[in-house]
Structure 1
Amino acid sequence: MKYQNLTVVILAVLISMSCGISGKVSLDPESRKFYETARLIMIKEEKDIFNHLPDRESRQEFIRDFWAKRDPDSETEENEFKEEFFGRIEYANRYFREGIPGWKTDRGRVFIYLGPPDKIDQRPISTILLSKD
């Protein structure tokens, strides 16, 4: 009997997946642009919530709250965190592009998430010549 119930549940899940029943909604261009970049710093729960918001107004409210709760100083008009985030995206696009925008590369995502390194160790490339003698 247990296996019969399990089979019914599995079939129901497979049928719903094949019918395209999903909790996700299609995003308007503004929401898609926000999600595309902000997902780099979103936690899983925020991604799930955003992808299931029913309308544009709900998503706009989410976006306002998303940046507001990350604002280190709510007394100022600008959001320093948001400005730093988009500054890092610009930097990544300038220095880490590899046929795709820099913020989409591994180096770019690491830079956006962690910020600039504390120290950069660069060594000149040298040539070593070996002789058979």
Structure 2
Amino acid sequence: MNLETKKSVINKSQKDFFEYLTDLNNFEHLMPENNTKFEVDGESFIFGLKGMPEIRLVVKEKQEFNKIILGAASSKLDFSLTVNIDVVAENSCETQLLFEGDFNPMMAMMVKKPLQKFIDTLTENASKL
């Protein structure tokens, strides 16, 4: 299952936004309002949304200033969340989130809408920075 957000302009330079996201504590500011838990542990963080199980994301890859790939810490759910960051101008950049998950058709049907809403909210909150 592949999901993506619309591209969104961020009022930070590409480098500043990349550095903002590499401090995993800042992801708490991007989370939806129904966030019930958020804890950073080294190169990973765990979060919980009301009505959903807690999820741990681990930094899998960083391509300096233009891409961060987060992945599931659990092998039960195989997915990744890629943050692409492109230069727009000296003090602004454009970001897009890409979600890739290997789910059975029933699971995909159940999680598609909530996941799309979640990644849209992350992008929307980032555009308010």
TM-score, length basis structure 2: 0.25
TM-score, length basis structure 1: 0.25
Between structures 1 and 2, the one with greater helix share: 1
